[in-house]
Amino acid sequence: MNILVVGLSHNTAPVEIREKVAFSPTAMAEPLQQMLALDAVNEGIIVSTCNRVELYATSREPERAIIQLQHFLADFHKLSFERIEEHLYDLHGEDAIRHVLRVAASLDSMIIGEPQILGQIKTAYGYASEFKTAGLILNRFMHKAFSVAKRVRTETAIASNAVSVSFAAVELARKIFSNLEDKTVMLIGAGEMCELAARHFINNGIAEVLVTNRTFSRAEKLAAEFNGRAVSFENFRDQLHQVDIVLSSTGAPDYVLEAKKLSEVIRLRRNKPMFLIDIAVPRDIDPKANKIDNIYLYDVDDLQGVVQANLKERKKEADKAEAIINEEIVQFYRWLSTLEVKPTIVALRRKLEELRQTEVKKTLANLSADDKTAKSIDALTRALVNKILHQPTSILKDAQNSEDGDAYIDAVRTLFDLPVPVADDSTATDGAGQKD
């Protein structure tokens, strides 16, 4: 049985293509059932996010299943196959297993280490479980993916460094103040970047949020979202001595905070540290403020520098994560192979035993053999069958962990006309270790 992946992502397709093949998260029953109705597909899961749409499936005919899945993706969304063909990728076997584990561990994300994708895969698996399109293999595989993602986050620091400008600001503030729980932040301007950074600060326990904006109603609206307080733009400088952290992004042509004013503010604060984050272009805060003792001023370039340094650190940690995935692939592949090898060996032994018993009965029927002779013939033929089976059985067991395993299994089934094995839960636990 093969695991397959067919899909496209931010690596292969622009957003205008990705949005055309996206599946609605509130209407997954129909596409999942249509996917499972493809005659070469045994199990199916659909992962659909803003950055990727991927179909996970199992099949005994991977090449035919891949073609069917590719056309299903186009047909379901009423697109010509040619429209999306160049953006699609398809994987099977070890390549597919590696890809899904890397996606779950956020190694294939636009931002390495971001946590959202794991939750999105869990949601996709939840739909497949609800509509019964995930069977034994994908059930086990998804739990393996979840445990690998958890292991990557536990054993590496892949998600420990801020890689967005807004969160980098919070990370720097924690270095300056250590504890943010008794701190006050002021937003100067009510743009998206300020708002996002403020949310990060609130999530990290900031005590109070003040908001000022040239349009006071906008300041009131944003302050209400944060359970904060709106301040008139004309008077906000008079309240700066109460503020520990300033986030500024106004779009003003000139500085809204001069170094001279900030010198007065720091005196009123009795030299208590003050963290200023200027994410405006052109800048809102006079860069000379950085020369004032106990004032820490960072502009957008400074924050981008922090982000880039952190991205480099995440990429170093990604190498550790890849090693973990390589290790886990071996374990999962070993389990997956047992689903095919053990039933094949059992079927082969059963077939040869049936042939042996049939031929022994024929022989004994034509002989006037006593019990001792009959037992000797039975033992002789049993020993011959065991000796004949020893070599192919050993080869099959050894081959189950190699790339040629499927070829050996298919050859044995064809040569001895064996039935296709059906994996069940009892077979699944053999050689698999404990469940994830």
Which residues are known catalytic residues?
Answer: 50
Q: What are the distances in angstroms from CA 152 to CA 13, 28, 51, 103, 206? A: 27, 29, 21, 12, 30
Report the SS3 class of residue 9. strand
Q: What are the DSSP E strand ranges found in 93-143?
A: none
Which ranges of 182-284 would DSSP assign to H, the alpha helix? 192-203, 216-225, 259-268
Cα 142 to Cα 121: distance, rounded to the nearest angstrom: 9
Cα 208 to Cα 191: distance, rounded to the nearest angstrom: 19
Are 25 and 63 contacting, i.e. CB atoms less than 8 angstroms apart? Answer: no
Report the SS3 class of residue 137. helix
What are the helix and strand counts (H, E) for the chain? 15, 10
| Dihedral (CA of 292, 293, 295, 299) sign | positive
Q: Tell me phi and psi for residue 191, to 5 degrees.
A: -80, 175
